[in-house]
Structure 1
Amino acid sequence: MEQLTEVEFKGVKLVEMNKYGFQKDNTATDVDVALQFDIHQMSVACEGGWRLTVHVQGKHQDKKPAIFTYHDIGMNFGSCFQSLFCSQEMAVIRDHFTIYHITAPGQEDGARPLPTPLTDPNPYPNMDQLADQLVAVCHKFNLKKFIGFGAGAGANVFLRFALSHPQMMESLVLINPTVRKAGWVEWGYLKLALRYLNSGVTNRHTEDYLVWHHLGYKTSYENEDLCNMYRHFLAQLCPENLARFIQVFLERSDIGVKREATSAKGDGGSFRSNITCPVLNVVGAWSPHVEESVDLNTKLNPNEATWFKVSDSGGFVQEENPCKLVEAFILMLKGNGYPTLEQMKP
């Protein structure tokens, strides 16, 4: 039998994935990542005594066009969008735009339980008030309009803003959007989750529901690494603060997006929607939110909206299939007045 020779490896650099999905060596920190991708954290005061944490990617003094991101429940900017916007595929976007990543009040990693502001009797801003807070962000950075990039609850916030401030919304990218009130199944599961979260506990039931909400059944069973990564994200959030965000999302009103015909079918069947900006409506093929995404699509102007069902993806398209998402985003931007954008080849 041939004897194996011992080999000593020298100069091997260990590489691991950091908590937001991209690679760093064993000496790198989140500060290093922020410096590498030019991310700066800022705080924006809003009506009612609330404050928004905004991570600015790029320099807003450069007068570049603006992209706002807004995350879903059970997430924040880091877990929902940081990996996507720090990817190689997004390099062309980072070169041409300044990105403002908005985190809902109290949803930062390791945040302390929120006190109730003395100027506001409500324990948390409702969905319409969360949308109105975007005006304060625009004023803070002297922005007249922006492109919205939202997932889940964040998509709901941007749709409300597009209805109330259409002149400030340039275009929208919506992942797993919903425009209707919560259904009975969603209401039941989240009400039970709220009982535990309000007591300061993120129990297994809450984790399992939010894993399904973000990944869907197929991905949660077949992609154990992504499932465990999300559970790690969730453990960083303050349960009491998460309960407040979930509560207002659960009590959301119907947004009121609608479409009406402006000419007879014989004349080509023109339509008009009260969402006047271009919309890229994205959903994974295995996402639990396909029906809601289709429902929104029927209420948008077909000349201004694109429905994009991403194959081989659950609900977390940003992590499961980022290349297809970025490609669709760039195509939308090129059609909306940014023709020089070209996606980098891997």
Structure 2
Amino acid sequence: MGESSGSVSIDVERFLLGGKEHIVQTSHGCASVTVCGDLEKPALVTYPDVALNYMSCFQGLFFCPEAASLLLHNFCIYHISPPGHELGAAPISSNVPMPSVDDLADQVAEVLNVFGLKAVMCMGVTAGAYILTLFASKYRDRVLGLILVSPLCKAPSWSQWFYNKVMSNWLYFYGMCGPAKEFLLQRYFSKEVRGNTKEPESDIVQACRSLLDEKQGRNVCRFLESINGRHDLTKRLKNLHCRILVFVGGGSPFYSDAFHMTSKLDSRYTALVEVQACGSVVTEEQPQAMVVPMEYFLMGYGLYRPCPLSPSPRGPLSPSCISPEMLSPESMGVKLKPIRTRLL
């Protein structure tokens, strides 16, 4: 255990799908952290989007064999859920103060203290990407790198703010009602998998819809309100000197936000991958498109994915470990976008 304040502790532990869930008391409320893998390995911290948790936001990625072997071979995974978003969460009392985005970023730091973690790799999706980017800007020496999926960095536009307010009211007064679920599914997934009058919803959308039914509407409302009150991080981005890998779905509502963010990041440390025919939650909709970019990203840290064809499980990753057709961006449905900055 690392040093931490007296107000931070682990209260409850339970086992979930190969990981152990810890309910961590922090100065900004409780946080659910599910730990998977070897505690001796470097840490990868994940943070999901609004109304999601590690099951509904990262399960597809970790069920993808190539991604699982890459990540679990190199990291111990710490899945942090937003307050009240964990499986079986009870309603948060109205007497508990609403956390700001800064509170949530500070909560991440307190969680790291509890587990004795110094510097970590971070992976976040949309709202979770914003929280981890804010965390990285406040605690730069604690972040080795960022993997951001359809990230946000600007304050919400007036239309976004108003739309989210309407959504918050639905969640507060009616819970996870039909319109709220449709709003969220449109936020997460491309129209190709959401179905229409001729085509049914895909399995991943149906599974997500089922998991949303289990959410406490007022808990989701609180996190959405926190994100709706976010501030612009644009000016802080140039101060980030860790490596950053950004994925964005071509059909994401936050497509322009991701491009704005990458244009403001230091191009020496940043790469952008656009995944075609995909919504915001690339980790669920097209996780296989993330594998090769992540492999090359992690190679910069001396990390690798064990190759089944190699006689040694510790043999370093090399291009020969990847089939030639997988190296074609078109075959993965992705477009690699270099970051271009103006010469001053």
1:330 to 277, 295, 306: 295
Give the structure 2 partner of residue 12 of structure 1. none
Cα distance change of structure 1 residues 33 and 109 upon mapping to structure 2, 3 Å threshold? closer
1:45 to 3, 16, 25: 25
Give the structure 2 partner of residue 110 of structure 1. 88
Cα distance change of structure 1 residues 70 and 341 upon mapping to structure 2, 3 Å threshold? farther
Determine if contact 2:22/2:32 at 8 Å carries over to the other structure.
Answer: yes
2:173 maps to 1:199: yes
How far residue 326 of structure 1 moved from its aligned partner, in angstroms, is 2.1
SS at match of 1:207: helix
Give the structure 1 partner of residue 49 of structure 2. 72
Cα distance change of structure 1 residues 300 and 83 upon mapping to structure 2, 3 Å threshold? same
C-alpha separation in 1, matches of 2:228 and 2:117? 31
Give the structure 1 partner of residue 332 of structure 2. none
Q: Percent identity?
A: 28
**Deviation string for 1:60-105 (max 9, x for gaps)?**
2x2x111000000021111001331243111232122100000111
2:48 maps to 1:83: no
How far residue 190 of structure 1 moved from its aligned partner, in angstroms, is 1.8
- RMSD over aligned CA atoms reads 2.2
Give the structure 1 partner of residue 216 of structure 2. 238
SS at match of 2:241: coil
Determine if contact 2:153/2:257 at 8 Å carries over to the other structure.
Answer: yes
SS at match of 1:237: coil
**Deviation string for 1:259-289 (max 9, x for gaps)?**
6xxxxxxxxxxxxx21111100110112121
Determine if contact 1:76/1:108 at 8 Å carries over to the other structure.
Answer: yes
Determine if contact 2:101/2:227 at 8 Å carries over to the other structure.
Answer: yes
Determine if contact 2:19/2:36 at 8 Å carries over to the other structure.
Answer: yes
Cα distance change of structure 1 residues 220 and 106 upon mapping to structure 2, 3 Å threshold? same
**Deviation string for 1:185-244 (max 9, x for gaps)?**
222222122112112422222111111111144442367123322211211110111111
Give the structure 2 partner of residue 146 of structure 1. 120
C-alpha separation in 2, matches of 1:54 and 1:257? 30
Cα distance change of structure 1 residues 57 and 206 upon mapping to structure 2, 3 Å threshold? same
Determine if contact 1:69/1:99 at 8 Å carries over to the other structure.
Answer: yes
C-alpha separation in 1, matches of 2:139 and 2:192? 38
User: How many residue pairs were aligned?
Assistant: 293
Question: 133-142 or 212-221, which moves further after superposition?
Answer: 212-221
Where does structure 1 lack aligned partners over 5 or more consecutive residues? 1-30, 260-272
C-alpha separation in 2, matches of 1:79 and 1:306? 26
2:183 maps to 1:183: no
SS at match of 2:90: coil
Determine if contact 1:189/1:209 at 8 Å carries over to the other structure.
Answer: no
Determine if contact 1:179/1:257 at 8 Å carries over to the other structure.
Answer: no
Give the structure 1 partner of residue 310 of structure 2. none
Letter paired with 2:250: A
SS at match of 2:264: coil
2:37 to 28, 36, 58: 58
Larger radius of gyration: 1
C-alpha separation in 2, matches of 1:311 and 1:218? 11
Within a 5 Å distance, the mapping from 1:1-346 to structure 2 comes to: 34=17, 38-48=18-28, 50-60=29-39, 62=40, 64-89=41-66, 90-116=68-94, 122=97, 124-221=98-195, 224-225=201-202, 226-258=204-236, 273-338=238-303, 340-341=316-317
SS at match of 2:163: helix
C-alpha separation in 1, matches of 2:91 and 2:180? 18
How far residue 32 of structure 1 moved from its aligned partner, in angstroms, is 9.3
Where does structure 2 lack aligned partners over 5 or more consecutive residues? 1-13, 305-315, 327-344
Letter paired with 2:31: L
Q: Normalising by the residue count of structure 1, what TM-score does the alignment of the two structures yield?
A: 0.79
C-alpha separation in 1, matches of 2:233 and 2:200? 33
Q: Normalising by the residue count of structure 2, what TM-score does the alignment of the two structures yield?
A: 0.79
SS at match of 2:173: coil
How far residue 317 of structure 1 moved from its aligned partner, in angstroms, is 1.1
SS at match of 1:337: coil
SS at match of 1:150: strand
Give the structure 2 partner of residue 269 of structure 1. none
Letter paired with 1:47: S
C-alpha separation in 1, matches of 2:229 and 2:244? 25
How far residue 248 of structure 1 moved from its aligned partner, in angstroms, is 0.8
Determine if contact 2:119/2:142 at 8 Å carries over to the other structure.
Answer: yes
